[in-house]
A and B are shown apart, each in its own frame.
Chain A
Amino acid sequence: MKVRRVLPGWAYVLLVLPCLAIVCVGTYNTVEPAWLGIPFFYWYQLALVLFSMVSIGIAYFSLREVPDDTSNAESKQ
């Protein structure tokens, strides 16, 4: 039977979180704390890339398979 995959409500938070963090420029537009001589502004954004991989990854594993009930025989929305 055809299945479709649904994202549970809480997992949307995982997708929004990295976007929200990167949009708040004021929280990371500083030099200190530097890491390995790299200003905070730069390493923080790269760390957010890693974080986004993890959070999208969790969202991926949280997908639930449900029987596809939006059958094509039904009338259009």
Chain B
Amino acid sequence: MHTIAIAVFLFFFILVTVVGFLASRWRRADLNSLHEWGLAGRRFGTAVSWFLIGGDLYTAYTFIAVPAAMFGAGAMTGFFAVPYTILIYPMGFLVLPKLWSVAHKHGFVTPADFVRARFGSKHLALAIALTGIIATMPYIALQLKGIQVVIAALGFPTEGLIGELPLLIAFMVLAAYTYNSGLRAPALIAIVKDLLIYITVLSAVIIIPIKMGGFGPIFAKVPAEKLLLKAPTADSLNQFSAYVTLAMGSALALFLYPHSATALMSASGPQTLRRNMVLLPAYSLLLGLLAFLGYMALAQGLDKLPEYQHYFAQYKGQFAVPALFLANFPEWFVGVAFAAIAIGALVPAAIMSIAAANLYTRNIYKEFLRPDASPADETRVAKWVSLVVKVGALVFVLGIQSDFAIQLQLLGGIWICQTLPSVFIGLFTRWLDYRALLFGWASGVAWGTWAAWTLKFKGSLYVLHLGGMAVPGYAALYALIINIVVAVVVTLLVRAMKMAPGVDSTQPGDYAG
């Protein structure tokens, strides 16, 4: 057991718990309204939004998984996170102010609310909402996985009920303050979390290379096939197309995830979002540096050390970052670093559960089950659903193989991408017909799932054969192309058959901001 590290870890954990509960008094308003509980009244300025969106997009799972991928597979699966996050902000700059403006004008809480109004179809909205909920669940489970790894690294037993107890406690605390304070809790906690993350990552990328004689010796120990991408050959684009499509597909998917939409809609206006698109890449820089930690663990041969061997056997590359901190830093700093990772999991887990709750409440409960629900009813249901969603994720992590959570998260990425035509293209034009969008969505989801099945759910790189050329690429992107083609063709058919178009209850001016 690492007593000092545990003490520091507990200190920060208790600190954020207090912050989480006190958050309900911050910018005090009636938390019985879904706009207040689930979107914090859409009043977050540039700085708070920066912390909230940053804390939401760059999750603890990222902090564990990106270095783990570098450690295990190298640049291809690890470093694509950098081009991925370069692509999202120019796109966000053009798209998100529109989404915010129309959502603000009509009081939309979820992306599915927008689709409902834009295309006048509650069934299309249901498809978007269900895709969002299903894609979010395994994502929450992976956050808990991140907490599990650092709890194990602190020296707690990893098996049996006692091994699961710290996670259960962390989780109940998280559930309680999310229920109590809504989106205000993760927003305030994100500030603490991000400061801790910046301190730990920057210290690690400065101190460890100094100890090891610079970055040169670190990169020198990385095998050539991990260091660079496999260049195209006469019959295959190899890792070039894989790297680019993985980055593009992930970038397109990111802002479609319900938890991103929740954080974005809580901003105070379109200009707040634009300023954040300028400032958020700072996190990408941090993420790139963080990726280097995987190589540092590799260069130090930490998985060969007897004290970490059994952890690596259990958690594989995911133990690279915890091991690196244990091996290179004093106990108290290990406590800070692990607290940063654990709290880094709580923030997105809270936002994700709120986002899933908003979707259920607005697009399933109010739409199909109780159309006459009052705003107070909505909020009550959302609060309970946020608890149910978290229990679901916990059952996942404790009861089911964690590999299954990773596979589902991978499928979730493919599925969520299929909501792009309805949500993002819908922001620019309502030319596509709602029936066509449903067909497109179904085709994309079906093909993407099939593609993942052919890969035995172990990866998401599907090899497309164009003429004599193999093009390995992210299945989500290929599925999206099929989705859009189907949507366009069916729209033309619907128009040709002169079927009644959907009713758009938004106005062109609603999108300006």
Give Cα A59–Cα B79 distance, bound, in whole angstroms. Answer: 27
Tell me which residues across on chain B come within 8 A of A77, comparing CB atoms.
430, 508
Q: Are A57 and B219 in contact (CB under 8 A)?
A: no
Q: Are A19 and B219 in contact (CB under 8 A)?
A: no
Q: Are A25 and B82 in contact (CB under 8 A)?
A: no
Tell me which residues across on chain A come within 8 A of B90, comparing CB atoms.
15-16, 18-19, 52, 55-56
Q: Of B128-136, B209-217, B336-344, which stretch is located at the interface? A: B209-217
Q: Which residue on A lies nearest to B275, using beta carbons?
A: A60
Q: How many A-B residue pairs have CB under 8 A?
A: 127
Q: Are B510 and A39 in contact (CB under 8 A)?
A: no
Q: Of B282-290, B308-316, B381-389, which stretch is located at the interface? A: B282-290
Give Cα A42–Cα B380 distance, bound, in whole angstroms. Answer: 48
Known contacts A23-B244, A36-B214: does B285 contact A46 (CB below 8 Å)? yes
Tell whether B86 is near chain A: CB-to-CB under 8 Å: yes
Interface size, B (range): 35 or more
Q: Are B93 and A53 in contact (CB under 8 A)?
A: no
Q: Which residue on A lies nearest to B90, using beta carbons?
A: A15
Q: Are B215 and A68 in contact (CB under 8 A)?
A: no
The residues in B between 77 and 123 inclusive whose CB is less than 8 angstroms from any CB of A are 79, 82-83, 85-87, 89-91, 93-94, 97
Tell me which residues across on chain A come within 8 A of B86, comparing CB atoms.
18-19, 22, 45, 48-49, 52
Taking A60-B274, A68-B512 as given, write out 18 further A-B residue pairs in contact, using a Cβ cutoff of 8 Å, ordered by the A residue number: A4-B512, A15-B93, A16-B90, A19-B91, A23-B244, A25-B229, A29-B231, A37-B214, A41-B229, A42-B292, A45-B86, A46-B82, A53-B279, A56-B277, A72-B508, A74-B508, A76-B504, A76-B508
Minimum-distance CB pairs A-B, first 6: A37-B216, A4-B512, A37-B215, A15-B90, A70-B509, A22-B83
Q: Which residues of B contact A (CB under 8 A)?
A: 75, 79, 82-83, 85-87, 89-91, 93-94, 97, 214-219, 227-229, 231, 240, 243-244, 247-248, 270-271, 274-275, 277-279, 281-282, 284-285, 288-289, 292, 430, 504, 507-510, 512-513
